[in-house]
Amino acid sequence: MPAHPAPASVVIVPLEAAHAEAVLAIYQAGIDEGNATFETAAPDWDVFDAAKLREHRFAAVDADGAVLGWAAATRVSDRCAYAGVVEHSVYVHPAARGRGIASALLKALIESTEQAGIWTIQSGIFPENTASLAVHERAGFRVIGTRERIGRHHGVWRDVVLVERRSPAIS
């Protein structure tokens, strides 16, 4: 798959095992900030790798090869009715935020999923994560609702805003 255009000196490439250490460190940084996921620790690479769809995962790398962010999708169900629906995550290194990297990663994800006939990309985002909600809105996602008090995070009930992007290219 060709590299996708991104902010100056950053390219979007397929996420590979060579990116593992940096990807998991970025994931852990998002976990540690407290508004990215219910997870409390990044998994090991084998678990991460097995859960993410190979054709729908990307890394943003700079000119030196450093990973600045990643996006990946997972199946929402094995049921055939949901064959065209995936759930995704997008994470950017704290020092690289505000440079358009998340937008470039989402663009690559949208392109790959549409080429594969996937009609819906969805995610759940903590309402406090306003930056993520804004980047998703700019990428064509819409809020479809809020799951109130859906889970406990460090002993506190948290809401999750559900967002989705329905592909206009797939009818």
Residue 133 lies in a domain: no
* CATH code for the domain in which residue 36 is found: 3.40.630.30
pLDDT for 4: 58
Q: Is residue 60 part of a domain?
A: yes
What's the domain count of the chain? Answer: 1
Check residue 171 and give its pLDDT: 75
pLDDT at 68: 98
Does a structural domain hold residue 24?
Answer: yes
| Residue 89 parent element (H or E) | strand 85-92
Distances (CA, A) of 74 to 7, 38, 118: 26, 16, 12
On whether residue 102 sits in a domain, the answer given is: yes
Examine residue 150 and state whether it is found in any structural domain, yes or no: no
- Compute the C-alpha angle 169/105/114, nearest 5°: 20
* SS3 state of residue 165: strand
Q: Cα dist. 77→45, 113, 119 in Å?
A: 22, 16, 14
Q: Is residue 19 part of a domain?
A: yes
Looking at residue 2, what is its pLDDT? 47
Range of the domain at 65: 4-121
| Long-range pairs for 129-134: beta carbons < 8 A, 24 or more residues apart | 129/35, 129/36, 131/97, 132/36, 132/90, 132/102, 133/161, 133/163
Domain-embedded: residue 11: yes
Tell me the pTM.
0.93
Q: Is residue 45 part of a domain?
A: yes
Mean pLDDT by 10 residues, the chain (171 residues): 65 97 98 94 97 97 96 95 96 95 98 97 97 97 97 95 95 75
